[in-house]
Amino acid sequence: MNANDSIKVDDLNKPYFVWFEDNWTHDDVLHQHDKGQLVYVESGFQYITIDERIYLLPQNHAAWIPSNTIHKTNSHSEKIKLMIMFADTDKKNNFYDEVNVFSVPPVLREMIKYAEKWSQHLTKDPDETIFLKALFNELPHFVEHSLKLHICLPKDQRLAKVIEHLHHQYNKEIKIENLGDLVLLSFRTLERIFKKETGLTLSKYQQMLRIIKSLELLSSGNFTISETAYEVGYKSVQAYTRSFQSVMQFRPTDFVKNINTNSTKWSY
C-alpha cells in the first residue's frame, strides 16, 4: 500500500501523521506536500531523490525532507522497514528548511518506534500530538552531524552517457581521461562541465559512487568489510578504508557498529 496514493496527507486535519510499514512500497514518482517528512530506515536501505540529488539511507539512518520539496523514492533493498512521519514544522527554525541525512541515536530511535502505535491514525489524538511535538521539537538537537552523502544529477544532456558509464562501471578501473571520447569532448572541457553540474570532479564522483554502494552492501549484512572493499573496486582494505574515511569522516568499522545493534561480529 502507498501512503500518498491512498491518503492525501495535506488534507488531514491534524499536525502530524505517522505511517509505518514492513516491505514498504512508496511513491516512485516526483511529488511534494505541504508537510515536512521524516523517513527512518529501521532495516534495509533506501535511495531517495531530493531536488535532483540522490541520497542513500542505510539502516538506522533517517532523512528530513522539508515541506514542499520535490522528491521521490528510488530502488531499495528487497526487505525494508520504513517509518515515515509527516509534520507541520516550526517556521522559525532554519533546520526544517534544509535536507538532512543522519544516523539515528538510540533515544530518537526508541521515540520513533514508540510512535508506531499511532500508525495510519486519521483522527486527532491529544497524546499523539503532544508526543510528536516533543519529538520534532528535539529533532534538530538529535542531528549531531549531517552526512553529505549524495550525488547530483546533472541537467546537461551531454553528460548523460558519462553518468551512465560511471554508474555501471564504478567498480572497474576506468581511465577517467578517456571519458571525453564518449561525448566527443576534450577531457578538460568535460571535466569543467561535469564539475559545474555536479560539484565534483569525475574521479571524485566515482569515489562517491563506490562509497555509497559500499554503504548499501554493508547495510545488507551479507558482506564483510573486506568483501565490500573488493566488491566496489578497491584493491585493498586499506585503500578502501582511507577512501571511506575521507568521505564519511569515520571508518567502515564505526559504520558497521552503528548499523548492527545486535553486535554482529565482522571479520576481515
Cell 565482522, residue located: 266
Secondary structure letter of residue 59 according to DSSP: T
| Arithmetic mean of pLDDT, 175-202 | 93
Cell 577517467, residue located: 176
User: Which CATH number, 1.10.3720.10, 2.60.120.280, 3.50.70.10, 3.90.1170.50, labels domain 3-142?
Assistant: 2.60.120.280
Model confidence over 108-127: pLDDT tens digits? 989 999 999 999 999 999 99
Cross-sheet strand order for the sheet of 81-87: 16-22, 81-87, 36-43, 61-65, 100-103
Alpha-carbon gap, residue 214 to 217, rounded angstroms: 5
Asked if 80 and 58 count as a contact pair (C-beta separation under 8 A), the reply is no
pLDDT of residue 67: 93
pTM: predicted TM-score of the whole model, two decimal places: 0.72
Of 78-82, 180-184, 262-266, the poorest mean pLDDT is in 262-266
Could you give the percent of the chain with pLDDT greater than 70? 88
Domain boundaries, the chain: 3-142, 155-259
| Predicted confidence (pLDDT) at residue 191 exceeds the cutoff of 80 | yes
Average pLDDT, the chain: 85
Q: Which helix (H) or strand (E) holds 238?
A: helix 237-248
CA distances from residue 154 to 65, 72, 213 in whole angstroms, order as listed = 21, 17, 19
Q: Which CATH superfamily is domain 155-259 in?
A: Homeodomain-like (1.10.10.60)
